[in-house]
Amino acid sequence: MAEIVKRHPELRRARLVIEGEMANDRMSLHAEGAADPEALAATLRELTKLRGEIVIAAPGSLSNDGKLIDDRRAV
């Protein structure tokens, strides 16, 4: 995550969210800032070798709790 923010200085905050159940995981990058979603998707794919959805969040909507990855998968 730090590398994504480093490559896209226009981002204020970013968080990778993992959701899903039993081998049906979905990944999305939630990002605050005036970033190009296609460029973010390309960087995410390059760094993780995985595809993920890009969600541009409103300024101040992402929690400032230091959490970079939010694993919401069902156990």
Q: What tens digit of pLDDT does each residue of 8-58 get?
A: 999 999 999 999 887 789 999 999 988 899 999 999 999 999 999 999 999
Query: What's the confidence (pLDDT) of residue 22?
Result: 75
- Residue 64, classified by CB atoms within 10 Å of its CB into exposed (0-12), middle (13-18) or buried (19+), is exposed
pTM: 0.84
> How many domains does the structure of the chain reveal?
1
The parent domain of residue 54 ranges over 2-71
Q: Other CB atoms closer than 10 Å to residue 21's CB: what's the count?
A: 10
End-to-end CA distance of the chain: 24
Q: How far apart are CA 74 and CA 7, in angstroms?
A: 31
Q: What is the CATH number of the domain that holds 47?
A: 3.30.300.30
Query: What's the confidence (pLDDT) of residue 27?
Result: 94
Adjacent-strand bridge partners of 28: 17, 53
